[in-house]
Structures are given as structure tokens and as C-alpha cells.
Amino acid sequence: MTDPSALTLLALQLGFLILMWGFVFAIVYALRSDLFGQRVRKLQPAATAGAEPRAATPPGGTAPVVPAASGYPSSPVDRSDAGNDNASKLVITSGPRAGAEFPLGRDEITIGRSGDSAIIIRDDYTSTHHARLMLWNGRWMIQDLDSTNGTFLDGSRVTVPVPVPLGATVKVGATTFELRR
Amino acid sequence: MNDVTAPPTGKVKRIRVPQRLRNLELGILIPAFVIILSAIVLVQLGALGHVDTQLIVLGAGLIVLVLGLHITLRFVARDADPFIVPIATVLNGIGIAMIYRIDIAEGNEGWDSIAVKQIAWTAIAIAAAITTLLVLRNHRILFRYTYLFGLAALVLLLLPLVPGLGNEVNGARVWISLGGFLNFQPGELAKIALAIFFAGYLVRNRDALSMTGPKFLGIQWPRMRDFGPLLIVWAVAMGVIVFQRDLGTGLLYFGLFLCMLYVATGRFSWIAIGLSLFVAGAIIAVQTLEYVRGRVDAWLNPFDQSVYDATGGSYQLVQGLFGLAKGSMLGTGLGQGRPYITPLAESDYIIASLGEELGLAGLFAIFALYLLFVERGFRIGFAGQDDFGKLLGVGLAFVVALQVFVVVGGVTRVVPLTGLTMPFLAAGGSSLLANWIIVALLLRLSDTIRNHPRLVIES
């Protein structure tokens, strides 16, 4: 076998660099929604109004109950002091799954369109990582994660993490929910 | 697993078809294997002028092992992140190709060949990763043994100082020698134990560290009695720098704790205090420790003739810089440069070797891969719903990021040279073992933390 010429080696070297960058961009492409987020439409006032009337759906009773994921690791921390406002569940009050309940533990709850959120809301108005609920000194706080359409607590936009009182309406995209005992 | 909740009426919806992520992983692994094999072939064409099948067979053995890890994931962690394994594989493979290239230049063959040893260590490391995944089915178990991991880290750190067991290499007492032939750096494994310990400790105690304290200059400062942990870790890091004479490892441990403390408490004052402690430690070290002063001297005046000629001076640093300059944009081509002039071109200086032969374009592709790897770890911290797992994911990813920064910064004269190894790339068994275990832990975390939506609302 004869030695490859300098030109062949140069071509191979360029090919190898292109291969490496191709690999990098293949991963970036596969991750595009993780890295850049999904497209979010601006919420029109009409859409807000359309979602509101359905808020009257009765909770509990006929509502589907969401079982706690048994595969999910439970917190070893004792739950006796889980919130001095005693919220034990989150209830969806309007939107396509109105009436659904969601048990609250001690772990924070992420809300957004991405597949790794605890509550996934797939509509055009919810951002990839929209908001999160977290337990802070025994109180559930809602924090907006710089979402396009904002998170609303009792009608006012959430700018800094604020405590969520029992029964207060939180609105994310076209969905509203509240915390209950 | 009934983690995907289904509405009582209507069709059952699955958020992720179970093996979708694994198929994606396989799809990305195939180009990864192509990159590894073509790197080895290019090294042979460039340096030998012909293709030699021996090392390609060994490279294929590596591919079989990675496939073994992939199949393991299909059974025990099917929702794990699909990008971590391909990225680690490519980095590891490019490292082997470059070590092989240095071997050819130095005439190492058979078991003297560092590349063959590296492949053997990779096999051990991937086997360890598979074992970790099989044994550790839920990362919360680690939380239970927080303090045990703290103790283990301390023991691993002290091992090289035990007389008879410890081994001094290039002035640093960070090695242990088992049976006279197997050299091992326990500090690499200690960083994993420390990350677990810090995560568990901070989750348990963060309220005290983040909530209280006096306000001064517009920032809330911690109480005096909460300084204890930070001061202890600082003292341990300084101890590593003084007694083990290893600048990089000490820096790594302290940086890791500071990062995790900040992530856990969200308090800027910790960063301010930590950085002041670091600067104070650095000044003391430069004033009192000969080897640290030498490093700083070589960093500030590498082209000074007396520094260049001194033992432990800037000869290596300058050769590395010349190598990088020779590489320019597109590099000399694999196997066609002369990276072997630089001392330790296969371990501490592998980045300069790669920069010479792959150029800035190739080096930046490698950095992009590290960036994506670290991003996957931070993502666990961002998306997860359990605090311990989140903190551990961030800590493990940050330790890799900091190590890359310190090594590349050292080679490119941004920071003083420290003697850490480049994760996955550099020759060295303990580093490979530790980093593949980090891969396994990140995979386990991403499997249990991600993809557990508990409520899905679709319109």
C-alpha cells in the first residue's frame, strides 16, 4: 500500500472536522426544543375569556382523581410539617382537564410544556418552562419562569415568587388551578 | 410503571413511548462510532502511512462495550438521557486516538502502549458504569448514606498520605500504588463521593444556610455560626494543596462546594465569601509554597529565558502554546503534527496535542461536546422535582465543567497550570473510572427525575 498523498490527507482531515461538527449539530438539533424552547403564541384576550366560564366545573365528585405515581421516589423527609396552610392537593378549575386533582408532597412542582414538567400543559400559550410551585418555609409559592404569557394569581401577574393562599386562582396559559386542603 | 397518568375516559396517552429515547441514543451512537474509528484510521494514515488493523480491533472492542451499556440502559433506565453516552463515547474515543498517536511517535508497543492501557481502563470504567446502573436503581438511596459518603471522601483523600501506600509522581502526593504496578488517584473518586455528600448535606441544612442572617450592603449575609461548613471545606482544600501538593484537586473541591452551596441557597453572599476565602488562600499559597510560586511564575512570564529553562518552569507551557499556534484554524491533520515534543502530551497536555492536529475548528467541536454534556447535567437540576437529585446532577455536571475550565485555562495560559486531567480525553485510569461513574449517575438521575409527569393537560 502506497503512502497517501498530502492532498488526500488534507481532504480526510477536512472530512473528519466536518464529521465532528456534524455530530455536534445533530445533538443540538435533537435538543432544539430543550435549548431554545418551543414557539409560544401571544395570548389574546378572547382566549382568556373563552377559558373562564368553564371554571365553574365542580371539583371532586365526578372529577377524575389523579393517582400519585407509585414509581416516583417519595421524600424521606417527614411530612408532618408539610405547609402551615395545609394545602394537600392542587385542583384544575378550568381548561381541558378541569376537575383533575394533583397531590402535593414536599417536592417542587414544575409547570410547562416540556416533557419533564410535573404538570405538562400542552397548549399554544404555555411556555416550555412556564412556572413552578415550591414549598418555602411551609408555604407554597408560585414563581413565574419568565414565561411569554405570564402567570396570574387572582388576576394579577406574578413577577416575584408569591405565596399562594388556599383557594386563590392561579392561571397558566388557558388553564387555571387552585390549592385545596 | 404507572407514572404516566391516564384520564379515566378517553384513550390512554403515553407521554414518551418507552424506547423512543433509547432508539435516539442508538441513532446518535452510530456516528459516534464512525468518528472514533475514523480518528484511529486517520492517525495511522498520517503517522504510519498505512492502516494497521490491530488497534482498530481494540477500538471495535470498545464499541461493543458501549453497546453493552446501551443495552443495559434499555432494561434498567429506559428514560435516561439519550445524549450523555454518545458524547462521553466520542470524547473517550478521540482521546484514545490521540494517545495512540503519541504512542506511535514514542515507539510504544504492546502492553507498553499507553493507548492499549487506556482502552483496558475504558473497559473497566464502562463495566463500572454498567454495575452502578444495575446496583443503584434509585438515587434516593444515596441520600440515606450522605455522611457515609462524606467519610469515604475523606478516607480516599487521605489514602495517598499513608506511608507505603502513597506514591509521589512529579511532586504531587495524590497517587496510591497497589502491588507496585497499579497506580491509582483516589482523589478522582473522592470528587463523586464529595458531590453526593454536599448534595445530601445541603438539602438537609439549607434553610439555616439560606434564610437567616444580618443584612449589610444590600445583601443578606449568613450568621457567623453557619460559616462552619464552608471553612471546613476550605481547610480541606488548602490541606490538599499543602500536603498533597496538588493545586488543581484542591481548587476543584472548593469550587464544587461553592457552586452547590450557591445553587442550594440562591444566596450571592456565599459566592462573595467563598471567592474572598479563595483569594486569601491563593495569596497564602503563593507566598509560602515553592511549587505554587513556580506555577504562577511560569504563568505570568513563560517566555522569560530563566523561567523557561528552570526545572518545573514554563518549558511545557510554551511548547503547548507553540503546538496550538502551529495547529492554527484547521490543524496539521491527525498524525501529521509534532505534539509529542510537549512533555505529558498524552495526559495533562492532550488538549494542546489535539489543538495542534485538529486546529481551532476541532478543538471547538470538542468544547461544544463538553458544553452539551454539562448542559444535560444542569438540565436535570432545572427540570427535576426532587431536591437531592437536582443538586447532585448540578454538582456532578459542574465538577466536569470546572475541570475542563481549569485544564484548558491552564494550557492556554488563562489561569496557572494545575495538573488536573481532561475528563474522558486524557490518559489515566482513575480519571476515566470516575468520569464514567459520573455518566452512570447522571443517567440514573435523568431516568428517575425526568419524564415523570404526574398530570398532563392537552388541548
Residue of A9, A19, A75 with shortest CB distance to B46: A9
State whether B382 and A129 contact (CB < 8 Å).
Answer: yes
Contacts for B43 with CB less than 8 Å, ≥ 6 apart:
B97, B98, B100, B101, B104, B334, B335
E strands within chain A?
89-94, 101-103, 109-112, 119-122, 131-136, 139-144, 151-153, 156-157, 162-163, 170-172, 175-180
Nearest CA in chain B to A137: B207
Residue of A17, A121, A129 with shortest CB distance to B330: A17
Q: Find out whether B447 and B376 touch, Cβ atoms under 8 Å.
A: no
Q: Which pLDDT does position A119 carry in this prediction?
A: 85
Distance from CA of A70 to the nearest CA of B (A): 7
Instruction: Write out pLDDT tens, residues B232-279.
Output: 888 888 888 888 778 888 889 999 999 998 988 887 888 888 889 888
Residue of A10, A12, A67 with shortest CB distance to B5: A67
Whole-number mean pLDDT of chain A?
A: 74
Q: Which pLDDT does position B33 carry in this prediction?
A: 94
Of the candidate ranges B52-61, B105-114, B355-364, the one whose mean pLDDT is the lowest: B105-114
- Summarize the confidence of residues B12-23 as an average pLDDT: 64
**Percent of all residues in chain B with a pLDDT value above 90, rounded to a whole number:** 35
* pLDDT band at B111; cut points 50, 70, 90: confident
Residue B86 and residue B67: Cα distance in Å, rounded?
10
Q: Find out whether B406 and B251 touch, Cβ atoms under 8 Å.
A: yes
Distance from CA of A169 to the nearest CA of B (A): 17
At residue B176's C-alpha, the angle toward residues B171 and B181, to 5°, is 105
How many residues does the structure list for chain A?
Answer: 181
Nearest CA in chain A to B137: A73
Please tell me which residue, B62 or B226, carries the higher pLDDT value: B62
Q: In sequence order, what DSSP letters do the residues of B424-438 get, joined into one string? A: TTSS-HHHHHHHHHH
E strands within A17-116?
89-94, 101-103, 109-112
B368 contact residues in A (CB cutoff 8 A): 24
Residue B149 and residue B333: Cα distance in Å, rounded?
45
Residue of A9, A14, A72 with shortest CB distance to B336: A9
State whether A121 and B362 contact (CB < 8 Å).
Answer: no
User: Is residue A166 within 8 angstroms of chain B, CB to CB?
Assistant: no
State whether B28 and A70 contact (CB < 8 Å).
Answer: no
- Summarize the confidence of residues B186-200 as an average pLDDT: 90
Longest dimension (CA), chain B: 81
Instruction: Write out pLDDT tens, residues B204-237.
Output: 887 777 666 666 666 666 666 677 778 888 888 8
Residue A105 and residue A69: Cα distance in Å, rounded?
12
- Summarize the confidence of residues B399-416 as an average pLDDT: 92
Indicate if the pLDDT at residue B192 is higher than 90.
yes
Distance from CA of A156 to the nearest CA of B (A): 23
State whether A16 and B38 contact (CB < 8 Å).
Answer: yes
Q: Which pLDDT does position B175 carry in this prediction?
A: 73
Q: Which pLDDT does position A65 carry in this prediction?
A: 37
Instruction: Write out pLDDT tens, residues A20-40.
Output: 999 999 999 988 877 666 666
State whether B334 and A13 contact (CB < 8 Å).
Answer: yes
Computed on alpha carbons and rounded to an integer, the radius of gyration of chain B in Å comes to 23
ipTM here:
0.86
Taking alpha carbons only, the member of B347, B231, B257, B240 closest to residue B292 is B240
State whether A116 and B87 contact (CB < 8 Å).
Answer: no
State whether A137 and B49 contact (CB < 8 Å).
Answer: no
State whether B144 and A9 contact (CB < 8 Å).
Answer: no
Q: Which pLDDT does position B1 carry in this prediction?
A: 40
State whether A118 and B455 contact (CB < 8 Å).
Answer: yes
Q: Which pLDDT does position B205 carry in this prediction?
A: 82
User: Is residue A1 within 8 angstroms of chain B, CB to CB?
Assistant: yes
State whether A116 and B35 contact (CB < 8 Å).
Answer: no
Q: Which pLDDT does position B35 carry in this prediction?
A: 94
Indicate if the pLDDT at residue A17 is higher than 90.
yes
A4 contact residues in B (CB cutoff 8 A): 45, 49
- Summarize the confidence of residues B87-96 as an average pLDDT: 94
Instruction: Write out pLDDT tens, residues A78-134.
Output: 334 444 567 788 888 888 878 888 878 777 888 888 767 788 888 888 888 889 888
Indicate if the pLDDT at residue B2 is higher than 60.
no
Phi, psi of B41 (to 5 degrees): -65, -40
State whether A122 and B459 contact (CB < 8 Å).
Answer: yes
Three-state SS for B418? coil
Q: Which pLDDT does position A38 carry in this prediction?
A: 65
Of the candidate ranges A68-77, B54-63, B72-81, B217-226, the one whose mean pLDDT is the lowest: A68-77
Tell me the count of A-B CB pairs closer than 8 A: 174
At residue B372's C-alpha, the angle toward residues B371 and B373, to 5°, is 90
Indicate if the pLDDT at residue B324 is higher than 50.
yes
Residue B132 and residue B437: Cα distance in Å, rounded?
7
Task: Choose, out of A116, A124, A143, A177, the residue to mutate when testing the contact with B (most B CBs < 10 Å).
Answer: A116
Q: Which pLDDT does position B404 carry in this prediction?
A: 95
Which 18-77 residues of chain A touch chain B by CB within 8 A?
19-24, 26-28, 30-31, 34-35, 64, 66-73, 75-76
B83 contact residues in A (CB cutoff 8 A): 27, 30-31
Tell me the pTM: 0.80
Taking alpha carbons only, the member of B442, B450, B360, B448 closest to residue B408 is B360
Q: Which pLDDT does position B219 carry in this prediction?
A: 65
- The b/e string for B319-335 (b: 16+ C-beta within 10 A; e otherwise) is bbbebbebbeeebbbbb
Contacts for B312 with CB less than 8 Å, ≥ 6 apart:
B171, B291, B294, B298
